[in-house]
């Protein structure tokens, strides 16, 4: 079942329920902010202090970072991670594929407002397939008469038991740019988190796995060779209005991306699809 819902302030979202999963998607940002298997804890982390207000981004779930990842490369006054995550998308279609699987397709295209921020005509489609496996496919199409460059990410926040008990497998031997130290390094062994981490891993061979005490989450990707791993740690959480001071203990971002070093050049009429495919397996005794 796919239903239109809204909060008391008229912030609109879709609620999806089928035999296997429950999910919620905000029309602002095409933002999947809740996903859980029936009878299990949510797979995606959502801040208890997150804003659900027009024009304010949601902290958690899977924000869509587009058409630039991070700060704009030449104008720091433009919105962090682009404008797609704060724009209202059009619901293009829904489908119940079977009793365990639902599909939602949303669209964003250029407008007078977007052209003031980024002077190109485009169409974005996000197809979210909600079943025992979660898939998000972001298709960027150049509708302009000139080529443009984009960076993008499906900024997945994963819910974990405790940051001290997790590790990330699949990135050993990969080079990465450390945005905290602004240095290039090589990953030795699995990734463990004991301080602020903000890394762009390059030439990644998916899948990447997040191991927690009670489950393992597998992150696969198509149309991407970059992976971002991010945890803000305590000092940054304290400074963020939409995160609790200790939120860093229960979340970790692992993001399929076309980040700097993996940027895309799209010619007029050309399109590209960035896909992340997420599955999980319980490891409870």
Return the pLDDT at 285.
61
Return the pLDDT at 105.
98
Is residue 126's pLDDT more than 90? yes
Return the pLDDT at 284.
65
User: Is position 255 annotated as part of the catalytic site?
Assistant: yes
The pLDDT confidence band at residue 71, using thresholds 50, 70 and 90, is confident
pTM of the predicted structure, to 2 decimals: 0.95
> pLDDT by residue (tens digit) across 205-248?
999 999 999 999 999 999 999 999 999 999 999 999 899 999 99
**Cα torsion angle, 108, 134, 241, 152, sign:** negative
Indicate which residue of 3, 255, 270, 271 is catalytic.
255
Indicate which residue of 72, 155, 211, 218 is catalytic.
155
The pLDDT confidence band at residue 74, using thresholds 50, 70 and 90, is confident
User: Is position 3 annotated as part of the catalytic site?
Assistant: no
Return the pLDDT at 141.
98
What count of Cα atoms within 13 Å lies in the side-chain half-sphere of residue 50?
17
Return the pLDDT at 233.
96
Is residue 186's pLDDT more than 90? yes
Sequence spans of domains, the chain: 2-280
Output the CA–CA distances (angstroms, integers) from residue 166 to 45, 114, 126, 203, in the order listed.
Answer: 15, 39, 30, 23
Assign domain 2-280 to a CATH class: mainly beta
Return the pLDDT at 273.
98
Contacts of 74 (CB under 8 A, 6+ apart): none
CB atoms within 10 A of CB 141: 18
The mean of the pLDDT values for the chain is: 95
Gap between the terminal Cα atoms of the chain: 33
């Amino acid at each position: 079942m796919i239903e239109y819902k809204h909060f008391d302030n008229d912030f609109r979202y879709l609620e999806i329920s089928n035999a296997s999963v429950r999910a919620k998607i905000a029309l602002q940002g095409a933002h999947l902010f809740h996903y859980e298997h029936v009878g299990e804890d949510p797979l995606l982390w959502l801040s208890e202090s997150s804003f659900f207000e027009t024009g304010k981004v949601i902290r958690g779930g899977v924000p869509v970072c587009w058409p630039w990842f991070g700060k704009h490369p030449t104008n720091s006054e433009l919105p962090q991670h682009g404008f797609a995550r704060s724009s209202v998308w059009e619901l293009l279609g829904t489908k119940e594929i079977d009793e365990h699987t639902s599909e939602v397709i949303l669209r964003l295209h250029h407008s007078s407002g977007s052209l003031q921020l980024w002077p190109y005509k485009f169409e974005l489609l996000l197809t979210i397939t909600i079943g025992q496996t979660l898939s998000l496919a972001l298709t960027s199409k150049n509708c302009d008469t000139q080529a443009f460059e984009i960076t993008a990410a499906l900024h997945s926040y994963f819910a974990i038991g405790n940051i001290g008990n997790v590790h990330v497998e699949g990135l050993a031997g990969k080079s990465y740019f450390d945005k905290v130290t602004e240095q290039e390094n090589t990953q030795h062994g699995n990734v463990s988190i004991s301080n602020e981490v903000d890394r762009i891993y390059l030439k990644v061979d998916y899948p990447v796995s997040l191991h927690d005490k009670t489950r393992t989450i597998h992150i696969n990707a198509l149309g991407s060779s970059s992976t971002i791993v991010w945890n803000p740690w305590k000092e940054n959480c304290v400074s963020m209005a939409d995160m609790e001071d200790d939120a860093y203990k229960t979340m970790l971002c692992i993001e399929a991306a076309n980040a700097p070093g993996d940027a895309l050049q799209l010619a007029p009429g050309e399109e590209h699809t960035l896909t992340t495919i997420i599955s999980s397996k319980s490891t409870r005794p």
